[in-house]
Amino acid sequence: MDTLIQQIINGVMLGSIYALIALGYTMVYGILRIINFAHGDILMVGALTTLSGMHALNAHFPTLPPLAQLGLALLLAMTVCALLAMAVERFAYRRLRNAPRLAPLISGIGVSVLLQTVAMIVWSRNPLMFPQILPMDPIAVTHGSAAHPPALVTVTGIVTVALALTVMLGLWLLVEYTRLGRGMRAVAENPRIATLMGVNPNAIIALTFAIGGVFAALAGVMMASNYGSAGFSMGFLPGIKAFTAAVLGGIGNIRGAMIGGLLLGLIESLGAGYLGDLTHGVFGSNYQDIFAFMVLILVLVFRPAGLLGERVAHRA
């Protein structure tokens, strides 16, 4: 039972990060019907920008508390990633809105490779250590025994889940009850009619990319904080998994992205925890990545629309 609880805890934490990343995919797809495959690499830029910001603040303001350094550096990273996402939309996607679907896909892959290459040049080819600001001492949530260790959780994990859920709730409120949210739904439904109603589709689309960039930066810092490192390739695999989560929940549906992210995190964590027992030791937890892609294949084959397969315009 302790093992099951531990895997559920790990899955919820991992799923919260996937859900945040998946929101960027699903918002863009809900409005433009394209997949922004550079989104995962914006996550990487956010983590590395935060790391550089913390180093700069520590060098110039050494008396500033570490948590304040992290907060200020994260604000910088969010701004950088929002502007970067808007630039990607402007130069990589805007002219391809009416092009065949393969064109923006290739463009996104090109931007992804470009961002990874630039990051490798600017920062390092090797992963960089990300400082652990919050206490990392594990907190036991079950009693356990000598034979069965208790289920553990860290303060970083708790903050990750709480912050992700808060951000997801904030996005839902923004889409449902604000003027920007109404504009997003109008553009997703019909950009031409939205223009007649006084909505600027280009501005709405740019802001949608910016919001996705902010979420990617936050997810990148969450990942780096939990794993203790950041590198130029850190965004690729989580980006693909988050895309899987968006497809699982119903890409284009905000609630679907949230649910899909949490479900994928649980599936991956539970699979990693029990894969060794199920295969009698043939496969270990290092094969956990196969579960995300198995889910993607199964969903595409049996339920291509996902669990909540509606567009943002229909149901945010």
What secondary structure letter does DSSP report for 147?
S
Under the banding of pLDDT at 50, 70 and 90, the label for residue 312 is very low
Q: Does the residue 33 lie in any domain? A: yes
Query: Rounded distance, CA 191 to CA 183, Å?
Result: 10
Q: 137: burial class by Cβ within 10 Å (0-12, 13-18, 19+)? A: exposed
Q: How many residues does the chain have?
A: 316
The most distant pair of C-alpha atoms in the chain lies apart, rounded to whole Å, by: 69
Cα distance between residue 172 and residue 87, in whole Å = 25
Q: Partners of 129 in the beta sheet?
A: 229
Q: How many domains does the chain have?
A: 1
Q: What band does 313 get if pLDDT is binned at 50, 70 and 90? A: very low
pTM: 0.87
Q: Name the residue range of residue 54's domain.
A: 2-232
What average pLDDT does the structure give for the chain?
85
Is residue 307 included in any domain, yes or no? no
CB 225 within 8 A of CB 47: no
DSSP string, 257-298: HHHHHHHHHHHHHHHHHHHHHHTTTSS-GGGTHHHHHHHHHH
Residue 62 lies in a domain: yes
Is the C-alpha dihedral spanning 187, 192, 194, 198 positive or negative? positive
Q: Each residue of 174-227: pLDDT tens digit?
A: 988 888 888 888 888 888 888 888 888 899 999 999 999 999 999 999 899 888
Is the backbone of residue 281 left (phi > 0), alpha (psi -120 to 50) or beta?
left
3 state DSSP class of 229: strand
Q: Examine residue 271 and state whether it is found in any structural domain, yes or no.
A: no
